[in-house]
Structure 1
């Protein structure tokens, strides 16, 4: 296998750790197709940012439910997010509209699909979202003020909240970290959840975009109840009973078709033992 970029290598390691609990350091150079020195640099970055723990020749995930930096999330479930973005953008009518869009990797794919629209004004707190929208110089983009969160590359705080409350939106498109019929839509960040809540409250039509890994997950900060959103766009790997439960709650839930996931050949299951405590939360 050719050498991956650092973000892709780190994302691959974290993805496997979320499923298997631990990895043997000695296996990583061969599995990732890089030198031992490169692996050591990657692990040092992951340890410094609190993503992993290292001990006795192995690495483990630092804690359950850790919020990953947005640059790492971009490479996770990328095909599902691309298809979710394309479908969600098709739900936005072709007429002059004012929209709210949050930050996040999945919303970024929606933004990319909308970038050619010349009839949209989009207000966003997501710096990555704004960049995606401006690629074609067609969408009128308004970026809120606020304090920057480096993990999510978005703006939060009272300035962002005040600006969003000054608008009435035709549509809001928001990404989330967790979806649960019982606990609603949640995020890792309390400040980020408040921004998302305002976007949903100020919009006539609301869309949540989230790949299937978010269904069944509950994070610390609640955004809103399930019934407060009109539409959820996810992917076809979503848990079928959960999709049915969301639909029974009155939410239009659309799973876009994504090809079956193939096992990551970089990490043969027989070579990487499970942690004694079992897999961590996906």
Structure 2
């Protein structure tokens, strides 16, 4: 793990905490292959963000299933997200279109893949999504108004909703925090889920992108039922029974192939 960034180290610790419940602080320099001073700084950041509790030489996750800052999610399962983004972008026909993109780390890879498309008008509530789209200065980008959510760097609220309702989209591509055949597509944030729901309602073609760690997870805020989505793009590490149930429920589920070497770097958060 030498050379990993702080976000990658924090992601590793959160994954270990989800498996073991708690960790001994004295073991962390060996696990992360960094100095004790580096570990102390990492733990201070995690504590400040409310990600962990510390007591008697141990750390534990503050609460299971908590929404993570988008900066940490970017370092989770990046190869899967990159390939999902490339495939999703390839489904957008080469002609003038208006599409909606949500915020989130996986949709960010979609945006990066679409950044060279001069024939697109993209409406987004994602600040990071907009930044990725504008990198090559060819896509026409419309950013909604609204109130910023620091955890996700996206905009929510009435102004964002009114902007989206003013459009009819050819495609909408959104992410999800949880995917279940029974519970549908869900998110941590009710306000974020409402924005995603409006994007999908206003679109002719509805696509959800999410790496396989999201399958089987259920959160409080519902985006949509399984049978209301045309396409789900995930990766080849998805549970086969879950994929079969989703397909039976009516969603066209496509898996991008992830090399075996990338599997060891995958992280599943609680």
Residue 34 of structure 2 corresponds to residue 52 of structure 1: no
Q: How does 1:125-274 map to 2 (within 5 A)?
A: 125-260=125-260, 261-263=262-264
Distance 2:27 2:133 in 1: 41
- Partner Cα separation in structure 2 for residue 92 and residue 281 of structure 1: 30
| Secondary structure of the structure 1 residue equivalent to 2:205 | strand
SS in structure 1 of the partner of residue 206 of structure 2: strand
Give how far 1:37 is off: 1.7
Contact 1:3 1:33 in 2 (8 A): no
Give the equivalent residue in structure 1 for 2:35. 35
What is the Cα deviation at residue 6 of structure 1? 1.5
- Give CA-to-partner distance per residue, 1:4-58, whole Å, 9 cap, x none: 2211211111122222222211111122222212211111111121111112212
Question: Which structure 2 residue ranges, 5 or more long, are not aligned?
Answer: none
What is the TM-score of this pair, normalised by structure 1?
Answer: 0.92
Helix, strand or coil at the partner of 2:92: coil
Query: Quick check: 1:115–1:139 contact (8 Å CA) kept in 2?
Result: yes
Query: Could you tell me which residue of structure 2 aligns to residue 99 of structure 1?
Result: 99
Equivalent residue for 1:272?
A: none
Q: Secondary structure at the match of 1:134?
A: helix
Are 1:6 and 1:42, in contact at CA under 8 Å, matched by a contact in 2? yes
Tell me the alpha carbon deviations over residues 147-192 of structure 1, each in whole angstroms, 9 at most, x when there is no partner: 0000000000000001100000000000010001111110000100
Partner Cα separation in structure 2 for residue 192 and residue 247 of structure 1: 26
In structure 2, distance between residues paired with 1:26 and 1:3: 20
Match of 2:23 in 1: 23
SS in 2 for 1:186: strand
Could you tell me how far apart the structure 1 residues matched to 2:49 and 2:196 are? 25
Q: 1:61-85, CA deviations, whole angstroms, 9 ceiling, x for partnerless residues?
A: 1111110000000000000000100
Unaligned runs of 5+ in 1: 265-279
- The match for 1:75 is 75
Q: 1:3·1:32 contact (CA, 8 Å) conserved in 2?
A: no
Q: Is the 8 A contact 2:213 2:269 kept in 1?
A: no
- Equivalent residue, structure 1, for 2:63: 63
Q: Contact 1:19–1:281 at 8 Å: present in 2 too?
A: no
Q: Distance in 1 between matches of 2:131 and 2:200?
A: 22
* Alignment partners' CA distance in 2, 1:244 and 1:145: 39
